[in-house]
Structures are given as C-alpha cells and as structure tokens.
Structure 1
Amino acid sequence: MEDRIITLAQLNAGEAGMPLGSEMWMYEGPLTHRDTDFLPVRFDALIGIAVHHGSAVFSIDGKEYRLEPNTVGILRPYCYLSNFSTLNGEPIDVSIIGCSEKVEDNMADTLSEIMPLVIKLHIDPVVKMQPGGVEALRPYLDLLRRMAVNEPRQAQTSRKAGCIFKAAIYEIIERRMPDETSGLSGRSREITAHFFYLLGKYFQEHRDVEFYATSLQISAKHLSTVLKATSGKTAGDWIELYVVREAKILLSNSSLRIKEIASRLHFSSQAFFGKYFRNITGMSPSDYRR
C-alpha cells in the first residue's frame, strides 16, 4: 500500500478534463463513485469543486464531509482524499478546477483580501453558498472552458486562467453563507489566515510555535491568544493536530516503515517521533498501526 499522489501534470495528460496551460486543469460534467476508483489519493494541486446538481459524501484527512447543490468544495494540496460516494449512486454534476501550488502562491499577495475563505477551508473544506451562488460562477467557468478549448497549452494560458480563478474566489467570498469566521476583526482575521497559510506549507518541517510567530512578526503568546479566540485552538494545538493527523494517515494508509514516517515528518529519530505521538494520542505508532 502506497501513499499515492496524482500530480497536476498527470491530470493534464489524462483523458478526463482539459488542460489550462501547464499550471491549471479543468473538468466539467457528471461524477460517480466509479470515477473515483483511484482513491485513496492526494493531489499536488489546489482543487475547487462547484456542485450544480446531486449530492455526495467524501472524506478528507479522515473526516467526512457532504457536497450538495450550491456548495463549493476546496481541497488543499496534499490533503488525503479517501472516500467518495454519491447519494443513491446517482451522478453528481460538477465543475472542477485544479491549480498548481505556483498559481496558489501567486494568490498569496492578495491573502488579506481572501482571508475569510483561507480560515474557513482549514476548518471545513465545504463552502455553503447563498441562493444562486454557484450559478453566479458560471461566467467564470464559461471563460475557463473557452480558454481550455481554444488555447489549452499556450504559454500564457495558466496566467490568464489564474486571474479568472482568482476573480471566482472573490465571487465565492462575496456569495458564501455567513459562518463562524464572518465576524472576526480585521487584525485577528489577518493573523489567523496567515497562520493557516503557513501551517499548511510548513507543518512537517516546523512544529515550534515560534517559527510561525516570527514569520508573522508577533510574539508566540499573542499568536496563540488570537488563534484561541478565532478558532478555539492555540497555535500549538493546531500544529499538533496537523502533525498527528498526517502521521495517522501515513500509519494507516501507507507501507512506509515507522522510521520512514518519522523522517518524512522531520523528527530527529524514530524514538522522538514515538514519544511525540504517544504524548498526544495515548498510544505508540506501532499500536495505532495495528
């Protein structure tokens, strides 16, 4: 059993969907459980799924979520997709956009403007839209589809498609249903969004709160105070959650030896990894794997 990763290049080279240059990919149409026989899997891309008709249940990082009409699912790069099933076996009609980490990083310069969505996606990857919200994305999807048909592999296609995708993200923010992140103050929201952005990129290499606090130019204490107020967890809690969740996925769904998992998660030794894992979960990695 391997920890399988499907790359954006593989999506663009496959029969399903259409390339949008080398950094983006698009699929529109029906999706059933038979189309997801390749699961479990990770994608090295940011994946956006707009649902037009039908319902489905899927699991991300071991937790189950539901896609319904007028919702948008956004999957972070390298999250673990382990299940997908449609309601009563009926197809779900979707539009799917895949973006490379390069395209995602290009959006980081507007992180302050898309903060509510960044925070939301680290708590729940499904965005419920106001009535007609997904339908309002049609003009952006139409532009992307025409681009995929007329200039699928031109040098500037991904750059132009990335701008359209960014505009669609703004539309999602404007038309999403209010949730627990909507009332956060500007500065607290900014700190929280930037923390989650950094955490998603660096949790395997950096487990110390000080790294994230220094990157945000605030104290570790202030970072944890803000996160506790905005998300219900401290910075240390979130770091532990991400590290242990990844460890559990690798222990349960890969043939990697425990020593290799410890190395992948940047622990200095298998013993240190085992102690860290036991302190948080109450069991050793080998016991959990059984």
Structure 2
Amino acid sequence: MNNQNIISFSISELREKNPDAPGIVHNGCFISLPEYDNQNRSVLFNYPCRINAYFIMICESGSADININLNEYRISENSILIHKPNNILQMIGTNEARGYLLGFEENLLQQVDINVRGLGPVLLQVLEEPVLHVTPEESRQLQGLIRSIADEIAKAREMPFFEEILRSYFSLFLYKLCSIVSKDRKERPSVESSAKSRNEEYFHRFMQELSLHYKNERSVGFYASQLCITPKYLTTLIKKVSGHSAADWIDRYVILEAKNLLRYSSMSIQEVAYYLNFPNQSFFGKYFKHQTGMSPSAYKMQQRSDEA
C-alpha cells in the first residue's frame, strides 16, 4: 500500500472504489445478502481501512476471520460482528462464509425515529468484544429484517412513502438488535443503577473525545477538562466502568494508530512520530518501546517478516 495513512471511506466511497463488489447502496445504507458472490464481497475489506459507518455482519453458515484494531475475531453460524466508525477493519480469511451485511452511516441514525441516546450503554457493551453469539431464532429474525430492507430498496423506490417505510424497517432492526444485546444486561444485578448509568455516559463521552483528539492530546487533564470534571474523578470512573484507566485508553489508541501506520502505510518512523504529535522520533521511539516492549523499527521489521 502506498497510502500515507490508513484509508478511510464513507459507504458511497467504498462502493466507488469497489464497483464489482455486490451489494445494495441507498441513502447512507449498504446491504449484502448470502446469495451474493461472497468471494467478490471480501474485496471490500481486503486491506486495512476505516469505514465511517456501522457495519453489522450476521453469519448464516461457514466462518470468517476479521481483524478489528489489530485484534482478530472469528464469526461463525449464529454470531454477529458489530463494527463501529473509526475502527480499523480488514477481512483476513473466509471459510465458505455466508451471511448478511448491513452498513449504515451516522446520518441515517438522525433520520429515523429512534432513541439514539438510549443506545449508548448498549454500544458500550460491544466496545471491547464486538462478536455476539445469538440463538438461531434471534439470528433468523435479524436476517429477515435485513432482507426486508433490501427488498424495499430493490423493488419499491418509486412507491409512495418509500422512505418512511424504509426508515421504519431500519428502526425496527436497530431496536431488535439492541433488545438482543441488552438481554444479558437485564439478568445482571442493577446495583447503583443510576450511578452506573451516569458513569457509563461519562465513559461514552470520554471515548468520543478520545477518538477525536488522541493524535494530538495524550494527557488525562485535557480529557477531564473536555468533560468538565477533575482528572482524578475521570480516572476513577473510567477504571470502574471499563477496568482500564483513562491513561491506559489514551495509550492504547495512540499505539494502535502507530502500529497500523508502521505496518501498513508508507510513512517513515519520523513521519509517524510527527503525525502523532511527538516532538521528535527519539521521544516517539521511547514511548513506543515502553508500551510494546520493542522499538518502532523492530516492530516494522517483524511485521514485514511475518508477511513474507
């Protein structure tokens, strides 16, 4: 790859760059069904890329190995993978995988009648473990809704109230998915539920700010000021909600970006250091080695060796 950064696409741009890949695109939404050519479909994600959209993959049969943020996941029958905007996604292998794929951009959420704020805690649940295992009946219900959306797009573009019908199906799908994801949460004891909800909201806001500023800001104090709380309080609540400190999350974001740039881009180590707002290559090298146990150059050589 000759890009200077990890490629980032909208859904329409993804289709433009992969015109032969099967699927239906309409108004910030992308759908692919099992009967479409699975081999061509994988072309969409052959290389590491950021897709500025949510993607929900429901595996009907077979399996697929997918790399998200340098973590490898396998989806198989009756499992769901949820990809969120700004994650780095790559398809690394399929074993006769067949399934359903629904992608939608953030602006589509703004067009439907749905409680987006209420979805926050549910999305947090899949933040670190994006693969969900569901019952065959739950899988069939979600598959049926995706097929209904695809049918509406393919056959009813000229029908009265087409957009309203489409948004209703989409709302129904999201609520059904969130209901399934939330099922386990309801079985857990709701101790200090209001405090937990407040902490989760802070955590959600912290992660939003981090995704926007991690390239330039690495201090806990900066993010605490963005949330109008003290650094100590931010550290305490982030640890309580996620099991990791705020500083840990900051370092993980920076190192993730550094690893991907070193592995996939044509940037030199010095260019990566400046891109991530380090004062110089030496400072970046010490930071990287402290976090990973190896120098940037050693990491880059290791990845080339693994790919040879």
Q: With structure 2 as the length reference, what TM-score do the two structures score?
A: 0.77
Give the Cα–Cα distance (whole angstroms) in 1 for the partners of residues 7 and 79 of structure 2. 27
Distance in 2, Cα, partners of 1:153 & 1:269: 58
Matching residue's letter, 1:98: G
Q: Check the 8 A contact 2:102/2:146 in 1, yes or no.
A: no
Q: Equivalent residue of 2:33, what SS? A: strand
Deviations 1:135-165 (A, max 9, x none): 22245324421332146699x9889756644
The structure with the larger Rg is 2
Query: Which of the numbers 178, 181, 197 marks the counterpart of 2:184?
Result: 178
Query: Which residue number corresponds to residue 275 of structure 1?
Result: 286
How far 1:273 moved relative to its partner?
2.5
Q: Is the 8 A contact 1:70 1:134 kept in 2?
A: yes
Structure 1 residue 248, shift from structure 2 partner: 0.8
- Is 1:8 the counterpart of 2:8? The answer is no
Count of aligned pairs? 284
Amino acid at match of 2:152: M
**CA positional deviation for 1:105:** 7.2
Question: 3-state SS of the aligned residue for 1:66?
Answer: strand
Q: Note the alpha carbon deviations across 1:112-139, whole angstroms, 9 max, x for none.
A: 4113332123211112234522222245
Match of 2:118 in 1: 113
| Higher mean C-alpha displacement, 133-142 vs 67-76 | 133-142
State the superposition RMSD in angstroms: 3.3
Tell whether the 8 Å contact from 1:12 to 1:25 is kept in structure 2 after alignment: no
Given candidates 41, 56, 72, the residue that maps to 2:48 is 41
Shift of 1:111: 4.8
Cα gap change, 1:144/1:229 in structure 2, threshold over 3 Å: closer, same or farther?
A: same
For residue 18 of structure 1, the aligned residue among 14, 24, 39 is 24
List gaps (5 residues or longer) in structure 2: 302-308
User: Would the alpha carbon gap of residues 262 and 61 (structure 1) be closer, same or farther in structure 2, given more than 3 Å must change?
Assistant: same
Question: Percent of aligned pairs with the same residue?
Answer: 27
1:16-35 deviation per Cα after TM superposition (whole angstroms, max 9, x unaligned)? 101112x2221112565664
Aligned counterpart for 1:217 among listed residues 219, 222, 228:
228
Q: Is the 8 A contact 2:59 2:80 kept in 1?
A: yes
Moved more, 215-224 or 248-257: 215-224
Question: Contact 2:31/2:101 (CA < 8 Å) preserved in 1?
Answer: yes
SS of the counterpart of 1:204? coil
Q: Which has the higher contact order (CA 8 A, sep 6+)?
A: 1
Partners of 1:181 and 1:267 in 2: how far apart? Answer: 45
Structure 1 segments unaligned to the other structure (5+ residues): none
Aligned 8 A contact 1:18 1:27 in 2? yes
Note if contact 1:70-1:129 (Cα within 8 Å) is conserved in structure 2: yes
SS of the residue corresponding to residue 113 of structure 1 reads helix
